[in-house]
């Protein structure tokens, strides 16, 4: 029998999605606006502003006694409101705009902040390219800042150094700061916000991977001027493709909606005074999103459960470290579980790693990749990491190197960078492991066995 594949983060449907989509067809709302878009925004708004009230967070043994997960994911009767009753004080003003992608949400945050050609925007270097690419869409320059060792997210001290240095060198302040919640882990938000406020620079939180992660009980994405969410196929929940922007107040929401729908002025004919974009979420995708909201907390509980199993299984394995919340203030959604390997750890077939050039996308990721025909770049994961990836692949287990920092990407060779070596060291020593709602307890056990077996 063919072995079931363990993939990084595969989407999982609640069964409620089809109901909302059917409703859209029945009522003829197959357009980028409509009742599902409004309903999805309402659900999201209640969710991101809510106190942690959901009670499914028992121990994993209580939650999943019979190991038949994910079949045991039970959608809540399509009334997420009952779960997210109580709002955190001070967040009453937050608004949500559903968009076609997380990348679009980040882009519109920059547009709304007036980021233009010649401006600089500070961005966490250790991230996926969608955090910084929209800066370049505006003709602006990203200034990359390295991470700190506990959260893997932007280093507050280095952030302040960078701000001061940019002001000294250019005579102007950076227009915004983009912090990222990599793999779902909250950043040191208190310190980052204090610096943003001290220099009066707006903070954009890229919470694309961090939906539902909390810092001191508050959902990430609600601390700054803007928060970015993604509902791409591999994220915590999916709308097949989509995103949302968290912003302050109805007026800002309307401004974002204006830019997301081609910036049309109020006339009987098309009249344009500003450049807009076609970035609104469709009513069909929003229908999927409403269905997904009924399993969001279950998904997060499951990701945490998987982390718990990895922690148990790897605790006695020397040379391998699981990335965990640094303290009780941090409550990661553990979107992806990640490990780092000591450089001294020997892995089977390590000498053969990088033997041949890769021609396709790792893990069969969507889209087309360009093949350079080269097996090496100037900064790549250590040979034991690549050897482990290949050994796991033989067992039908998908793993992936940690994201390569943006300051090491050739496309950003001309961007200023403030580095401390941490993100590069993490990139060279780390792997992401299967973590999604379709990963069962049995899968995790098999993955841990496979990891142990490939140690030489
Ligand atoms: C996925 C992702 C995005 C972009 O989201 P899309 O919906 O795919 O456009 C942005 N930032 C980070 C860190 C991401 O992981």
Any ligand 1 atom below 6 A from CB of 130: yes
Q: Candidates 104, 106, 127, 206: which one to mutate for ligand 1, based on the most atoms within 8 Å of Cβ?
A: 206
State the pTM of this model. Answer: 0.94
Per-residue DSSP letter, 384: H
**6 CA distance to ligand 1 centroid (A)?**
22
Q: pLDDT per residue over 243-289, tens digit each?
A: 999 999 999 999 999 999 999 999 999 999 999 999 999 999 999 99
State how far the alpha carbon of 133 is from the alpha carbons of 127, 178, 454, in Å: 11, 12, 37
Residue 234 CA: which ligand 1 atom is closest?
1
DSSP secondary structure string, 138-167?
Answer: TT-EEEEE-B-TTTSSB-HHHHHHHHHHHH
Residue 127 CA: which ligand 1 atom is closest?
13
Any ligand 1 atom below 6 A from CB of 39: no
Any ligand 1 atom below 6 A from CB of 127: yes
Any ligand 1 atom below 6 A from CB of 234: no
Any ligand 1 atom below 6 A from CB of 206: yes
* Residues 432, 336, 428, 106, CA torsion sign: positive
For 63, counting Cβ atoms within 10 Å of its Cβ (0-12 exposed, 13-18 middle, 19+ buried), the class is middle
Q: pLDDT per residue over 70-103, tens digit each?
A: 545 666 654 556 677 778 889 999 999 999 999 9
Ligand 1 atom 5, closest CA: 102
Any ligand 1 atom below 6 A from CB of 103: yes
**230 CA distance to ligand 1 centroid (A)?**
6
Residues of the chain under the 70 pLDDT cut: 1-3, 53-82, 359-367
Query: Which residue's entry shows tokens 């310190």?
Result: 191
Take residue 146 and report the two structure tokens written for it.
């390295």
pLDDT at residue number 76? 62
pLDDT at residue number 112? 98
Q: pLDDT per residue over 218-230, tens digit each?
A: 999 999 999 999 9
Query: What is the rounded distance in angstroms from the CA atom of residue 240 to the CA atom of residue 284?
Result: 10
Ligand 1 atom 10, closest CA: 130
Any ligand 1 atom below 6 A from CB of 208: yes
Ligand 1 atom 14, closest CA: 208
Residue 106 CA: which ligand 1 atom is closest?
10
């Amino acid at each position: 029998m063919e072995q079931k594949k363990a993939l990084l983060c595969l989407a999982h449907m609640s069964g409620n999605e089809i109901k909302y989509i059917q409703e859209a067809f029945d009522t003829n709302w197959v357009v980028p606006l409509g009742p599902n878009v409004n309903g999805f925004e309402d659900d999201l708004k209640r969710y991101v502003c809510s106190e942690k009230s959901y009670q499914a967070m028992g121990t994993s043994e209580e939650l999943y006694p019979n190991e038949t997960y994910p079949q045991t994911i039970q959608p809540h009767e399509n009334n997420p409101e009952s779960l997210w009753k109580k709002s955190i004080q001070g967040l009453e003003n937050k608004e949500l705009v559903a968009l076609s992608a997380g990348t679009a949400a980040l882009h519109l945050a920059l547009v709304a902040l007036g980021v233009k050609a010649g401006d600089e925007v500070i961005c966490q270097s250790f991230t996926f390219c969608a955090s910084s690419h929209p800066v370049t869409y505006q003709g602006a320059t990203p200034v990359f800042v390295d991470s700190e060792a506990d959260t893997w997210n932007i280093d507050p001290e280095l952030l302040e150094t960078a701000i001061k240095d940019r002001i000294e060198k250019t005579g102007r302040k950076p227009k915004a700061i983009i912090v990222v919640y990599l793999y779902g882990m909250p950043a040191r938000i208190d310190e980052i916000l204090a610096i943003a406020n001290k220099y009066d620079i707006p903070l954009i939180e890229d919470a694309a991977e961090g939906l539902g992660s909390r810092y001191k009980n508050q959902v990430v994405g609600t601390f700054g001027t803007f928060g970015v969410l993604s509902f791409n196929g591999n994220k915590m929940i999916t709308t097949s493709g989509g995103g949302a922007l968290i912003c302050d107040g109805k007026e800002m929401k309307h401004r974002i909606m204006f830019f997301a729908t081609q910036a049309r002025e109020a006339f009987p004919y098309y009249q344009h005074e500003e450049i807009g974009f076609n970035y609104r979420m469709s009513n069909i995708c929003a229908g999927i999103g409403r269905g997904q909201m009924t399993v969001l907390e279950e998904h997060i509980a499951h990701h945490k459960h998987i982390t718990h199993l990895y922690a148990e299984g790897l605790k006695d394995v020397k040379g391998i470290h699981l990335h965990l919340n640094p303290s009780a203030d941090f409550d990661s959604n553990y979107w992806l579980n990640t490990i780092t390997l000591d450089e001294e750890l020997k892995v089977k077939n390590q000498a053969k790693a990088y033997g041949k050039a890769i021609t396709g996308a790792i893990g069969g990721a969507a889209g087309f990749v360009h093949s350079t025909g080269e097996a090496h770049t100037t900064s790549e994961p250590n040979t034991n990491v690549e050897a482990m990836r290949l050994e796991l692949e033989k067992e039908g287990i998908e793993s992936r190197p940690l994201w390569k920092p943006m300051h090491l990407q050739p496309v950003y060779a001309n961007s200023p960078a403030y580095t401390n070596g941490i993100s590069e060291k993490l990139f060279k020593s780390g792997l992401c492991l299967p973590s999604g709602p379709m990963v069962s307890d049995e899968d995790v056990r098999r993955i841990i066995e496979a990891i142990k077996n490939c140690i030489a």
